[in-house]
Amino acid sequence: MRKIVKVSKNIFFTFFAMILFVAIAVFIYHNYQKGKESSLISEGTPVDFNNKEINVYTEGSGEDAYVFMSGSGIAAPVYELKGLYSKFAKENKIAVIERAGYGYSDVFHDDRDIDTILEQSRKSLMESGNKPPYILVPHSVSGIEAIYWAQKYPSEVKGIIALDIGLPHQYVTHKMGMVDSLTVRGVNLLTKMGLHRLVPSDVYNPEVIRQSFLTDHEKEMYKTLSYKQFFNDDMEQELLQSYNNGKKSVNLPIPKDTPILFLDAIADENKNSKYTKQKNDDYEDFAEKLLKADVIKLKGTHSIYLYAPDEIYDLSMEFIK
């Protein structure tokens, strides 16, 4: 019996030592790679915020300025959204805001309060040469900022093309629970250790690599930026603050004068789910309170900009005009 216990202890400590060795090796490699990645030359215009920078990528020209705002955790927006915004840029001016912690922007380590995020976006656009009014093109969690923007500064928002957004009241109604909160904090911790580098398919969207809207060089930059920025402190706080940020918007009047096109992404495997039906009902209810709005279902996953870029562009042009 003692022999079995002794052998078991030896196996356990050997296994633990191996895990510890791998974790230390990954951590060292992660920080080595971060050192290399920190020297990346940005594609866009960096705007200074007390020695930290937010990157704004601008392309095209035209009367209307379409502002693309990525969803949560999209670590390299300039590359991931290119398949969509490049269609707009042919006849319009576009700007891609890379919020703090995203893409070529610095990690600010601040409170991701919605007022802070919004004022950073406004200043970044203005100082990068993009003047209002804007047509906002938010995805997912950026829906909170876009609607809040229209509530606080209605003259700056000509319209909103909402790409499967989360509505402010949804983040209030479905407040993040303890388990979700711990999961968010846990993923952030594991990322700091560099363990995300062991699961590439969770770091960046493989569909971006499969498609052809990026050059080979841009695909490598997309991967590199994704490893560098994946689930950093700003992204963590952005999610943890979603309830408070949504509540600030809910407490203001709905921006009824702002035209909003809701593009509801529906994946085949989820088309009959309770969540999918509730999301569409929420869009319809919100749209009914606006003077001009429409809700259109699109076939595809939440990252709808990758699956229906031509349709999104055509629908947007028809709605705005």
* pLDDT tens-place string over residues 116-137: 999 999 999 999 999 999 999 9
- Using pLDDT thresholds of 50, 70 and 90, give the confidence band for residue 9: very low
**What gap in Å lies between CA 97 and CA 80, rounded to an integer?**
13
* Residue listed under structure tokens 């062991």: 198
For 30-34, 101-105, 135-139, which range has the lowest pLDDT when averaged over its residues? 30-34
Checking DSSP bridges between strand 52-59 and strand 45-49, what pairing results, if any?
antiparallel
* Residue listed under structure tokens 């601008």: 58
Higher pLDDT pick, 137 / 30: 137
- pLDDT, average across residues 105-115: 96
Going by the DSSP 8-state scheme, the letter that residue 131 receives in this structure is P
Per DSSP (E only), the strands in the chain are 45-49, 52-59, 65-69, 93-98, 134-138, 157-163, 260-266, 293-299
pLDDT of residue 238: 97
pLDDT of residue 60: 96
What is the torsion angle, in degrees rounded to the nearest 10, for the CA atoms of residue 150, residue 120, residue 99 and residue 216?
100
Structure tokens at 189: 């911790």
The chain-wide mean pLDDT, for the chain, equals: 90
pLDDT of residue 317: 97
**Which residues neighbour 321 within 8 Å (Cβ) at sequence distance 6 or greater?**
none
Burial (CB < 10 A; 0-12, 13-18, 19+), residue 224, is middle
Burial (CB < 10 A; 0-12, 13-18, 19+), residue 208, is buried
Q: Does 26 score more than 90 pLDDT? A: no
- Using pLDDT thresholds of 50, 70 and 90, give the confidence band for residue 259: very high
Type of residue numbered 229: Q
- pLDDT, average across residues 45-70: 96
Distances (CA, A) of 126 to 4, 82, 85, 156: 71, 22, 19, 11
**What gap in Å lies between CA 113 and CA 241, rounded to an integer?**
7
- Using pLDDT thresholds of 50, 70 and 90, give the confidence band for residue 24: low
pLDDT of residue 123: 98
Give the pTM: 0.90
Structure tokens at 190: 């594991």
- Using pLDDT thresholds of 50, 70 and 90, give the confidence band for residue 182: very high
Q: Does 11 score more than 50 pLDDT? A: no
pLDDT of residue 39: 55
The partner residues of 172 in beta bridges, in order of sequence, read: none
Determine contact, residues 261/160, Cβ cutoff 8 Å. Answer: yes
